[in-house]
Chain A
């Protein structure tokens, strides 16, 4: 199939407003989604599912959440880890208190609770902007993690201080807990991220997304055409925190299996921020690319030097990881603030013309 759009005329505004206006794109995406559901569970081994694909999907969901807030609405947050912690701990408390409740419903409710917390910490955004707001979100990060660490009620008084995902099934299939297979957990994570990526895409191409971007690009002009800054920013905080909350619940229930507050510390906030910047600010696709990139770099640094016979010491790997992430952040901000997503778009535009460059 050749990548061409010649002869595809958009006869209605509906077709012009579609997420993938080009027919080939629609087919590729459809095939890609089906393949993503079918192929990895059949061919990928436990290691790939558990160490690469599941964290990729979980982080992608969190990155979409942060991207809605930072990339679209322009409100920088360093509190992602804290909001994810709310999701993780809420899911634990909910499923322990109501074991009969469907675990997917538990995930969604955890997201709602995280959204509520996000709204509270979003209130200062009315009066403060930019890095002032970043400091406010740091308060959320440190306070929330401290809270879950100090109040034993959140871990059901477990002496270890950890929360552990219990066995929970959906339609007879074990989804979380020690008895759930990596394949099942992968499919559940994929289904959730696919649905929520679509929802995010719908939001950002409509009224809500435009008011977010308007506030981001020129808040004064946004107000004068009727965008209400407080409501708009709070909606962004709420929806973003919902995404982070669901991702936090998945982090515990589908990826780690059990977790302490350490799993949600400020390092996680920065990690998700890196995904958003490297992947592309203001791009849903970029959130996936960024998450994939951040998950793969450490694996690359572990395996490639080993393959060419120059194994790196673990400490050095860690340091190189930091340098690669830090260096790339600067690189992308300077060269291509729209990140990997923009590079992908450029490739596609070239491909449209290929092999005739003019």
Chain B
């Protein structure tokens, strides 16, 4: 990363409130272009809330979010997507009644233009566009090694594959910033290894910046360039994995509990 370049995403003093509960308390976070950042913390620390506020589901009642140099504090989710931020969900939010192929094609929706009248005829530009995007989607299918399940309904897939398809759908949008909410939850060791490899490949081959929430500390230490730690809605640490590992506040709040 070039010295002095502005960060891709800057979250400054963002707070989110649900009634009396302060889910995020003046949290700041910077994500540089090309980084893999892990966000960790105990359950209820506000990790998912942070992703939700970045992707526009919740709005901060104070603080600022700047993405690629522009203020993005108050945007609706589709507008956030249009900026080039894609994400996956903790509990897999695939379109269960659609095939894997259609799920991933839906990820291209922002790249597609045109009127429904042309599409009604499936003619000319509409058809060419459809085929062009199909070809792109097929590259992602190859990349994530899910060719055999192209035409399977997403709802019928085992959990691990659903997570992979969800990653594919997010990648189809060619995002600049990819937010992954527990991409390895509920996976066995082998599936986790695959997923780690995909995440690192996405980062290195497409140059995609990645922020992920993860509980498996081994994975976090292996793949992330930087780790941010949340506890009770506050950020208590932020730094290189080996630094965070030794941070006393983190040990008290989090690592001290799970490691002895």
Contacts and interface: CB of A to CB of B under 8 A. Distances in A.
Instruction: Report if A and B touch in the complex (beta carbons < 8 A).
Output: yes
Interface of A: 12-14, 16-17, 199, 202-203, 205-208, 210-211, 213-214, 216-218, 220-228, 235, 239, 282
B131 A13 contact: yes
Interface of B: 55-57, 76-78, 80-82, 86-87, 89, 93-98, 102, 105-107, 109-110, 112, 114, 116, 119-122, 126-127, 130-131, 134-135, 138, 169-170, 173
B138 A213 contact: no
A213 B120 contact: no
B173 A225 contact: yes
A132 B109 CA distance: 28
Contact of B109 (A13, A199, A227): A227
Contacts of A213: 95, 97-98, 102, 106
Contact of A217 (B77, B98, B119): B98
B93 A206 contact: no
Given A202-B121, A206-B119, A226 B98 contact: no
Contacts of A14: 127, 131
Contacts of B170: 225
A224 B116 contact: no
Nearest to A337: B97
Given A223-B76, A225-B107, A207 B112 contact: yes
Contacts of B97: 213, 216-217, 282
Contacts of A16: 134
Nearest to A218: B93
18 contacts: A13-B138, A14-B127, A16-B134, A203-B120, A206-B126, A207-B114, A211-B109, A213-B97, A214-B95, A216-B97, A217-B97, A222-B95, A224-B77, A224-B81, A226-B78, A226-B110, A226-B173, A227-B78
Nearest to A18: B122
A196 to B, nearest CB: 9
A214 B106 contact: yes
Contacts of B77: 220, 223-224
A203 B87 contact: no
A206 B96 CA distance: 17
Contacts of A225: 81, 86, 106-107, 109-110, 169-170, 173
Contacts, number: 104
Given A206-B126, A207-B119, A224 B95 contact: no
A203 B78 CA distance: 22
Contact of A13 (B94, B96, B135): B135
Given A205-B122, A207-B130, A227-B109, 11 more contacts: A202-B119, A202-B121, A203-B119, A207-B119, A213-B106, A214-B98, A217-B94, A217-B98, A221-B89, A222-B106, A225-B86
A12 B131 CA distance: 9
Contacts of B110: 225-226
Nearest to A201: B122
Contact of A199 (B105, B120, B134): B120
Given A17-B131, A210-B109, A235 B116 contact: yes
Task: Determine the main DSSP class of A at the interface with B.
Answer: helix
Nearest to A19: B122
Which one of A13, A205, A207, A225 has the highest number of Cβ atoms from chain B below 10 Å of its Cβ? A225
A226 B82 contact: yes
Nearest to B113: A207
Contacts of B122: 202, 205-206
B79 to A, nearest CB: 9
B170 to A, nearest CB: 8
A12 B170 CA distance: 25
Given A208-B119, A218-B94, A227 B126 contact: no
Nearest to B135: A13
A222 B173 CA distance: 12
Nearest to B110: A226
Contact of B106 (A17, A210, A235): A210
A16 B78 CA distance: 30
A208 B116 contact: yes
A227 B105 CA distance: 12
Nearest to A338: B97
A199 B120 CA distance: 5
Which one of B56, B77, B127 has the highest number of Cβ atoms from chain A below 10 Å of its Cβ? B77
A225 B105 CA distance: 11
